[in-house]
Amino acid sequence: MATTQYDPDCIFCKILQGQIPSTSLFESDAFLVFLDINPANRGHALIVPKRHVETVFDLPEGYGEELIAIMRKVGKAIMKATGATGMNILQNNYADAGQAVPHVHWHLIPRFAGDGLLPWSTKTYADGDEMASLAGKIRSVL
């Protein structure tokens, strides 16, 4: 692949080019999977496409099928190797959603009963048609 697929200022692009080290778990032509340096739990890994795009909305077609296959293959291996009894697969888009590294990636986070990683809090819809109205608004811009 051409080097123009990378951004010289991006930490994940530097990892993909071998300019800074990572602890790799799996690699294909299109993806690298390596351990997160600050894991939510030990074994927390990141699936990173070998192309600099910021968010999932910027990713070209054609990555989906292999991405799911890698989630399943590496995710199961992490669970087996760590003894995890659960796994979160998470992906943040833009800073307001908690994205710290602006190169799209998926988190594989092994989970254990009572590990203290809490789910986010929930909200409610107002009585009446707020839920249906919002669904209609979303469908209208699909």
CA 55 to mean position of chain CA atoms:
10
How open is the CA angle 118-102-62, to the nearest 5 degrees? 95
| Site size toward Zn ion, by CB under 5 A | 6
d(CA 51, CA 59): 9
Q: Which of 41, 43, 44, 103 binds Zn ion (CB under 5 A)?
A: 103
Quote the least distance from Cβ 75 to ligand AMP, whole Å.
Answer: 16
Provide the mask over 5-44, with x wherever binding to Zn ion is found by CB under 5 A and - wherever it is not: --x--x-xx-------------------------------
Instruction: Name the site residues for ligand AMP (rule: CB under 6 A).
Output: 11, 22, 36-38, 46, 92, 98-101
Check if the beta carbon of residue 23 is closer than 8 Å to that of residue 35.
Answer: yes
Q: Using the minimum distance from each CB to Zn ion, give the nearer residue, 7 or 115.
A: 7
103 carries an active-site annotation: no
d(CA 3, CA 31): 15
State the chain's maximal CA–CA distance in angstroms. Answer: 56
Q: Both ends of the chain: CA-CA distance in Å? A: 33
Provide the mask over 46-75, with x wherever binding to Zn ion is found by CB under 5 A and - wherever it is not: ------x-----------------------
The option from Zn ion, ligand AMP, none interacting with 103 (CB < 5 to 8 A, set by class) reads Zn ion
Residues with catalytic roles: 105
